[in-house]
Structure 1
């Protein structure tokens, strides 16, 4: 049998996350990196978030079974409903009728939707996907409140919004501050020797701090850990206190329960956050990492559930993390390329990624609709543009309420026909006093007319529309147009006329796309008149020249390589052999 596929029965040579000697320098440093021996990261996750939002909005009891629908599918099922075997996926995926049979008292809520003629989304008994568009605005607002509370509860720059219902927190800085406050003697190294090891850590009372994940030997009694206590355990216990306080504050102020995982890095924190849910937190000590990882099906780990995970499973006849621990780095790289070191380290709980604070201010806003019934006549597009405009108007108004100077530079309309590349038109979006639905829809309608006027045929079927603002930034205070200096007596234009004037004056260019056969990258090119065609050809040539330069660079590093031959940029076709075949794990991911 291939040695790669042999199931090793010997003791695995793996990273056991042995404790590092912690010194006074580690405690007193102001330069905290992802290599700090007392690093603690948490992942906090809102429990069944969309369902929880609707429960708060409706004021229902927490024990009330509730599901959230989007058209005919469940998008959220709260934990009381799950007790009746109702789920969003798997063997418990059922219809709403079957769900009501299983649980007669089940509350069913459809997400809010936009409808033409309404400036804000509403809750309808029977929203129609042919005329309505789903709105997640309420969930975004609730999410923002939670993330802001988290950011305000920890030192600046130590929290990261991971998704609408998840956030990472790097507690290392906060933990070190607490340690120095509780044990002041740690700030005074003996004989001023910063590299002296810290004294023996104090015992830890884990009661009330969360679920302690069992160590390698399966010991579950926290008191049995006392003789093994490390300073990283102390750091975890302090972080657990801080995390518990934040979770209680989220519940008290907003009514949302959360679950959390605490460990030495982001990967492990996210993995153990679901250990005991809902409304709990789990702690993964370094001595428990290996035992926790080994039985996990590795294809359930993020990024390993698709083609890459399947290929690894078939190559090594492996199903769990433990099955892969006998595979050496060299063996893994020989089959999946140098970047397979990422897989090798992940299986051992190694993750060096930082917790990075993301800027609050968004630079773009997008409203989109995949159309269940394609648009077949130009006049049908205006209905959906008004629906999309309503969403953009609401989101821009909310953003400007927090930051009054915000304004988008451009408005962009994308339309896609089936599986073809989308086409778009864009134009500057002029400043007006109030970006109402009518104002935004007027701008979108003009772009739509230009878009369909160029390419519409009897066979056209538009299956997707996107209307977006780009280049959102804060305007300078006191900014005004030239008429403000001279007090013009001309009739003041309406907001709609402001939009029309700016669109007429702007040199707005439509865009199409082509896909490079060598790198699979989608390149936007202008289209329309003769001048745009020449510019499009120049863009193609420039992109092909880039690959030519890369070929030359590679050949310089290969003494035996044959001289590269520059591709003919004027050719209308490219040989199929020029398509990249992909190396290592890269070929399992779609290049963007």
Structure 2
């Protein structure tokens, strides 16, 4: 009885592979600079405001982790070699990895530059099992790109992601549908996607520390304590995840931000806003859809975040127009003349399909710098 409850009620189990590149940014740096191999590499700008983008496994042995302040990483590993990130190069390598994926399936859902879900229930190379597909992908990445990747194979995305982390680095782990009754119960609940520190604390207050503990709670009780997420917890505890692999998910937003070496007043942010707007505009030109909303993000020296947005009657049609709107949002932020800021960001959101426009009857004159109507600036979160 217990075994049947733990098996996902799916008519034909899918074959999902989750591929996760090992210490991706740091591994690219070590690959391209032989003198860095075997040494603790931290991909980050040095400075009080910088954070770690990636750390090699040699640096991780000292406790260095991604998103850690660079000064903390330097204290934990004084011999670390700091390398400034080169995202143009990382994106090029990521595209090469994607080309390898595409030899095997068109059902690819990228999560970031260094990881993706692949559905290989039916694969393009005729390999008999998903495990053989994962082996082939890892071998091709190693032989062609001189990098390593870890992979997880499972009947759904939830389990495949757990599996890919099971034997990192450079590992492969397979979870079969029949393994769920023994594999899931001992897992800490923190391994469940979406269970962060706050949710984990709430679960522990209910006496739930493992997935096995979670399986003893009925659906109504979990929904009472966690709302709609309670239903998700109930299913994941039983290995159930019907979410599809969704190729090329539509872009929700594009943004760029930068942290200052020293806190500065708003009026000194002109040049940075212009540079960030240029980055965002260049990235948006690669999209097949168009953004309607311009977003400005500001973080004060006290770490308070203020976000302003404006949706003009027509989408920004040029870098100049995007920059003008961002500067107007900055000018109208009204956060006090003496306030100092540590970060500024510019973004585009509210992407929509491009609608055919009638041909203009006459040459349009360049639009003046747009002005916002009173109260048109509003708080609006930006999501990726």
**Category of TM-score, reference length = shorter chain:** 0.7 to 0.9
User: Among residues 367, 375, 387, which one is paired with 2:275 in the alignment?
Assistant: 387
CA offset at residue 270 of structure 1? 0.7
TM-score, normalization by structure 1: 0.53
Superposed displacement of residue 176, structure 1: 11
Q: Does 2:9 align with 1:15?
A: no
CA distance in 1, matches of 2:122, 2:343: 47
Q: Secondary structure at the match of 2:178?
A: helix
Match of 2:123 in 1: 174
**Match in the other structure for 1:459:** 338
Over residues 344-383 of structure 1, what are the superposed CA-to-partner deviations in whole Å (9 max), with x where a residue is unaligned?
Answer: 2211211111111125x757532223456444252x1212
Provide the C-alpha distance between the structure 1 equivalents of 2:329 and 2:199, rounded to a whole number of angstroms: 43
Per-residue deviation, residues 268-291 of structure 1 (Å, max 9, x unmatched) = 111111111211211112232222
Which whole-Å CA distance do the structure 1 matches of 2:335 and 2:5 have between them? 61
Distance 2:266 2:175 in 1: 59
Task: Give ranges in structure 1 of 5+ residues lacking alignment.
Answer: 1-10, 19-33, 113-135, 180-237, 432-439, 485-497, 515-521, 525-592
> Would you say 1:143 and 2:94 are equivalent positions?
yes
Paired position in structure 2 for 1:414: 296
SS at match of 2:132: helix
Q: TM-score, normalised by structure 2?
A: 0.78
CA contact 2:277–2:322 (8 Å) conserved in 1:
no
CA distance, structure 2, for counterparts of residue 67 and residue 171 of structure 1: 35
User: Alignment partner for residue 24 of structure 2, among 38, 49, 53?
Assistant: 49
**Number of aligned pairs?**
370
Q: Which ranges of structure 2 fall in alignment gaps of 5 or more residues? A: none
Rounded to whole Å, the distance in 2 between the matches of 1:175 and 1:447 is: 46
1:160: how far off? 0.9
Q: Which residue of 1 aligns with 2:114?
A: 165
**2:246 aligns to what SS in structure 1?**
coil
Maintained 8 Å contact 1:423/1:511: no
Superposition map of 1:338-377 within 5 A: 340-359=230-249, 362=251, 364-371=253-260, 373-376=262-265
For the 8 Å contact 2:289–2:353, the answer to whether it is kept is yes
Instruction: Tell me the residue number matched to 1:77.
Output: 55
State the match for 1:239 in structure 2: 130
Deviation at 1:335, TM superposition (A): 4.7
What do the CA deviations read for 1:4-63 (whole angstroms, capped 9, x no partner)? Answer: xxxxxxx96772439xxxxxxxxxxxxxxx934242111000000111122234355754
Shift of 1:108: 2.7
Q: Is the 8 A contact 1:381 1:448 kept in 2?
A: no
- The secondary structure found in structure 2 opposite 1:85 is coil
C-alpha spacing 1:523/1:385, structure 2 compared with 1 (3 Å): closer
Deviation, 1:146, is 1.8
Instruction: State how 1:143-222 maps to structure 2 within 5 Å.
Output: 143-150=94-101, 152-156=102-106, 158-174=107-123
Q: Deviations over 1:103-135 (max 9, x none)?
A: xxx5331325xxxxxxxxxxxxxxxxxxxxxxx
Determine if the alignment matches structure 1 residue 108 to structure 2 residue 66: no
- Give, in whole Å, the separation in 1 of the partners of 2:184 and 2:265: 53
Contact 1:41–1:265 (CA under 8 A) maintained in structure 2: yes
Instruction: Name the structure with the higher helix share.
Output: 1
The answer on whether the counterparts of 1:362 and 1:472 sit within 8 Å (CA) in structure 2 is no
Q: Max radius of gyration: which structure?
A: 1
Of 26, 36, 39, the match for 2:14:
39
- Does structure 2 retain, via aligned residues, the 8 Å contact 1:43–1:261? yes
| Aligned counterparts of 2:59 and 2:326: Cα–Cα separation in 1 | 46
Q: Which residue of 2 aligns with 1:323?
A: 213
C-alpha distance 171-374 of structure 1, shift in aligned 2 (>3 A): same
Moved more, 296-305 or 444-453: 444-453
Distance 1:176 1:142 in 2: 23
Aligned partner of 1:249 in structure 2 is 140
